[in-house]
Structure 1
Amino acid sequence: MHTVDREDVCATVAVAAPATRVFALLADPRTHAAIDGTGWVQDAADQAPLTEVGQIFRMDMYHPHHPNGDYRVANQVQVLDPPRAIAWRTGQEKEDGQLEFGGWVWRYDLVPLGPSETEVTLTYDWSAVPQFIRKYLQFPPFGPDHLTNSLHHLAELAAHS
């Protein structure tokens, strides 16, 4: 178990691809399972590209410690600034169709290092998670290498797209 004084973790990797290509991969929910460094993301339930702040996209997930194993999350786009930044908060859809968000955000910041190289920083921020959720979920719910693994997967996809 690791302890973190901050309420976010981040990793940065240089990707051998233009920022526009990297951003397009991040804005396509169909690529998220291939990018994910934990193996929890299984498939995009909503496959439309991310085009606006407030847009909802759902992902089918699997985690061995989740009560159902398989579950679905609903993400809401918080930042969409092509090709510089994209972020979403993760939650769930309740039985009545209402969305409920847990307080954690995934954010990618892209900085072009040249015409065919981009520095990508992935940040997982849980600073808005309420105390009642913190009682039953540990944050972050994965080791810090998850972010680096995700960025390496992204770099591999960008190099071959």
Structure 2
Amino acid sequence: MADTQKYTVSRTINAPVDKVWDVLSNPERHKEFDSSGRVRADEKSNRIQATGDVFTMNMEGPNGAYKTDNHVVGFNEHKLIAWATAPTGQEPQGWQWVWELNSVDAGSTDVSLTYDWSGVEEEAMKKFNPPLLEEKELEDSLANLAAAVE
């Protein structure tokens, strides 16, 4: 479902919640489910363990290589993980990625992914013209995540 400032997509993945969580909470594995083609590698491989953690990703875009700091803004083990993205060394500019997990049974997990740009300030809106991804790319991320764990 799409509205004007966020997309949310969902999928049931045929894997237990702890296996899905293992991939999402490990920045070293984020390239596996990235559908944008921008994530190249994790800069430091600390597992995400709490709100307030920051992980840095090496990225590649149309203008070349860059890094992002991802500030963990939501964390509930095996249920929710969310981060706000910023250029390295800067505060988040209003983009958030929210992953919600719901264990259906011992072998499957409902996963929802929300890409929310409602907090992007006017100056950044003019510069970047969000959304930076289409809803289909989020669906592809869920398919990539399923491939990584199924």
| Shift >6 Å, 4+ stretches | none
State the distance in 1 between where 2:119 and 2:85 align.
Answer: 12
Which of 1, 11, 14 pairs up with 1:13?
11
Q: Deviations over 1:63-100 (max 9, x none)?
A: 11x3xx10000001111101011000000234xxxx32
The amino acid of 2:26's aligned partner reads D
The equivalent residue for 1:92 is 87
The total of aligned residue pairs comes to 149
The equivalent residue for 1:158 is 149
User: Does structure 2 retain, via aligned residues, the 8 Å contact 1:58–1:72?
Assistant: yes
Q: Does 1:123 align with 2:121?
A: no
RMSD: 1.1
The equivalent residue for 1:132 is 123
User: Does structure 2 retain, via aligned residues, the 8 Å contact 1:20–1:82?
Assistant: no
Aligned-pair identity (%): 30
Q: Does 1:149 align with 2:140?
A: yes
The amino acid of 1:76's aligned partner reads H
TM-score, length basis structure 2: 0.95
The amino acid of 2:67's aligned partner reads R
State the distance in 1 between where 2:79 and 2:30 align.
Answer: 18
Gaps of 5+ in 2: none
SS in 2 for 1:101: coil
Which of 69, 77, 96 pairs up with 2:72?
77
State the distance in 2 between where 1:6 and 1:90 align.
Answer: 19
Gaps of 5+ in 1: none
Greater C-alpha radius of gyration: 1
TM-score, length basis structure 1: 0.89
